[in-house]
């Protein structure tokens, strides 16, 4: 019996085709609840620092005096704790992940009402 089951599996595998997608050519389709990366609407942020205190990896830094919000993307584990506790709901999870990188990725956002610019690094 085992020879017949092995033969069946062999023929099935030979004619099935690839089980994986060609990643660079075909982009992965993300589900609705995919967490991805943290996005911020800096104009709604009140710089209370609750997200910084709730982050288990310390990836978020909030500076109330400078009205700046920073995130170190490679330290973020996409747990969504910061978005859950934000009182102004200015944080959200985007369905796309950060691009692979060898160095650290730090994004900095500054309130345009004070500093006049928003920087992404």
Give the integer Cα–Cα distance in Å for 86 and 93.
12
Task: Tell me the per-residue pLDDT of 5-20, one tens digit each, with 9 for 90 and over.
Answer: 888 888 888 888 777 7
Buried/exposed code over 74-83 (b: 16+ C-beta within 10 A; e: otherwise): bebebbebbb
Q: Which residues contact 90 (CB under 8 A, 6 or more apart)?
A: 40, 41, 42, 43, 44, 45
Name the domain count of the chain: 1
Tell whether 86 is covered by a domain: yes
The residue segments making up the domain with residue 31 are 25-110
Selection from 80, 65, 72, 77 nearest residue 110 by Cα: 65
Tell whether 97 is covered by a domain: yes
Tell whether 117 is covered by a domain: no
0.85 cut: is pTM over it?
A: no
Tell whether 67 is covered by a domain: yes
Tell whether 13 is covered by a domain: no
Tell whether 4 is covered by a domain: no
For the cut 80, the answer to whether the pLDDT of residue 81 exceeds it is: yes
Place of tokens 């990896």: 57
Task: Tell me the per-residue pLDDT of 54-70, one tens digit each, with 9 for 90 and over.
Answer: 999 999 999 999 999 99
Tell whether 87 is covered by a domain: yes
Bridge partners, 19 (sequence order): none
Tell whether 20 is covered by a domain: no
Strands 60-63 and 37-40: what pairing? unpaired
């Amino acid at each position: 019996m085992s020879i017949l089951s092995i033969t069946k599996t062999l023929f099935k595998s030979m004619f099935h085709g690839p089980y994986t997608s060609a990643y660079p050519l075909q982009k992965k389709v993300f589900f609705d609840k995919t967490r991805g990366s943290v996005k911020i609407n800096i104009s709604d942020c009140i710089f209370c620092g609750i997200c910084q205190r709730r982050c288990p990896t310390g990836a978020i830094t909030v500076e109330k005096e400078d009205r700046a919000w920073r995130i170190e993307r490679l330290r973020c584990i996409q747990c969504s704790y910061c978005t859950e506790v934000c009182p102004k709901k200015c944080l959200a999870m985007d369905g796309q992940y950060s691009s692979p990188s060898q160095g650290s990725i730090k994004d900095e956002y500054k309130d345009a009402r004070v500093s006049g610019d928003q920087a992404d690094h």
